[in-house]
Each structure stands twice: as structure tokens, then as C-alpha cells.
């Protein structure tokens, strides 16, 4: 019952359109919920702390960046011309972390960064947080919590790297498999 309520709230909020692959993927059992979104990083908002003055990001450099969330399937398989400022965004993505390799090793290295991500679907009343590593393939990350309708939900995030967009930022297809945490 609560799962159906959550789906209803997300549909009303516009976070998951009725035709979204998130709903087509369905529920694994009555307590699970699956949600998918596309992420487009706006690389003009990427800021890092250099380890030496004027140096590009190296292993150990920290950063913060952000982008826009879109319904799953919005970003094409070749995202080169995709603009994160495109209309139709359903929320905001904020990501902070530490480089595990130098920027010159991206995209060849299998794992690039260790990050914490915040998904505002939309706003602070509907947020999910995740933590883990990321790279140029599929990354599996922990869903560490949420607010509003996501309060008390945990699970797993699968993140697939789609490529780099018009701003030079990453584009991702993200699927959350959520379950109510047991008290």
C-alpha cells in the first residue's frame, strides 16, 4: 500500500512519468520500489581543489559538481550534443568526491572517483543520497537514505555511464532499487 502511495506521489510530482522505464521495470516484491532517472552534469559547475597550484585534478583532489535530472530515456545513447540546461528537468543532482585517478586517466581507467551524490526529485522534500565509486562502465552504489517520501528507504543504485555531454560533463542512466529499512 505504501509503495503504491509513493508511486502516486512521484507521478504527481512529475519525477516519474507514467510511461517511464522505472515503472515498466516493476516491483520485485511488494516492499521494493524501482526508480530510474537520467543525469546530465553541467561541467561549467565542476570545481576541484588542486593538489598543486594550477595542476589538473590528480589522485586525491576533491571536487563538487552538479547537473540536472531527467526522466529515464531522455538522454540519447550518444549524448555529445545533449545540453544539461534543456527543458524538461525533473530535479537536481549534486555530487562531491575525491579523484581516484588523475584526470588524464579518464575515461580509460575503470574507476575514476569515489563520491557522495544527492538526488533532489525535486527539492529537499524528495531526496535520495548515495555513496560509492564511479567510472566508465556500470557502477553499483549504496543508497544511504532519503527525505520526504523516501524517508526510511535504502537500497542499491546502478549507474551506467552514457558518455560526455555538450558541456563536457558526464551523462548517466541511474536505477534505484529501494526497500523500506527495517526498524
**Mean pLDDT of the chain, nearest integer:** 86
| pLDDT tens readout for residues 84-113 | 999 999 999 999 999 999 999 999 999 999
Q: What is the residue whose three cell numbers read 526497500? A: 179
pTM of the predicted model, to two decimals? 0.83
Class of domain 2-180: mainly beta
Beta-strand pair 153-164/138-146: antiparallel
pLDDT for res 183: 64
- Rounded-to-integer distance, Cα 136 and Cα 170, Å: 10
Instruction: Using alpha carbons, list the distances in angstroms from residue 36 to 104, 107, 110, 156, 180.
Output: 30, 24, 23, 12, 17
E strand or H helix at 70, and its extent?
strand 62-71
- pLDDT tens per residue, range 99-149: 999 999 999 999 999 999 999 998 888 999 999 999 999 999 999 999 998
pLDDT of residue 18: 35
**Grid cell locating 47:** 570545481
Closest CA to 6 of 176, 183, 182: 176
Amino acid at each position: 500500500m505504501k509503495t503504491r502511495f509513493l508511486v502516486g506521489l512521484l507521478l504527481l510530482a512529475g519525477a516519474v512519468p507514467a510511461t517511464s522505464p522505472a515503472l515498466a521495470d516493476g516491483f520485485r516484491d511488494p516492499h521494493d520500489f524501482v526508480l530510474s532517472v537520467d543525469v546530465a552534469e553541467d561541467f561549467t559547475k565542476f570545481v576541484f581543489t588542486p593538489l598543486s597550484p594550477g595542476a589538473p585534478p590528480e589522485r586525491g583532489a576533491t571536487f563538487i559538481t552538479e547537473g540536472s535530472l531527467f526522466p529515464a530515456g531522455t538522454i540519447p545513447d550518444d549524448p555529445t550534443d545533449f545540453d544539461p540546461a534543456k527543458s524538461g528537468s525533473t530535479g537536481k543532482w549534486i555530487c562531491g568526491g575525491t579523484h581516484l585517478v588523475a584526470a588524464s586517466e579518464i575515461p580509460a581507467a575503470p574507476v575514476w572517483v569515489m563520491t557522495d551524490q544527492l538526488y533532489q526529485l525535486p527539492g529537499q522534500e524528495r531526496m535520495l543520497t548515495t555513496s560509492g565509486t564511479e567510472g566508465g562502465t556500470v557502477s553499483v552504489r549504496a543508497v544511504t537514505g532519503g527525505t520526504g517520501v523516501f524517508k526510511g528507504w535504502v537500497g542499491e543504485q546502478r549507474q551506467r555511464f552514457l558518455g560526455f555531454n555538450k558541456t563536457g560533463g558526464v551523462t548517466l542512466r541511474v536505477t534505484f532499487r529501494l526497500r523500506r529499512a527495517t526498524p
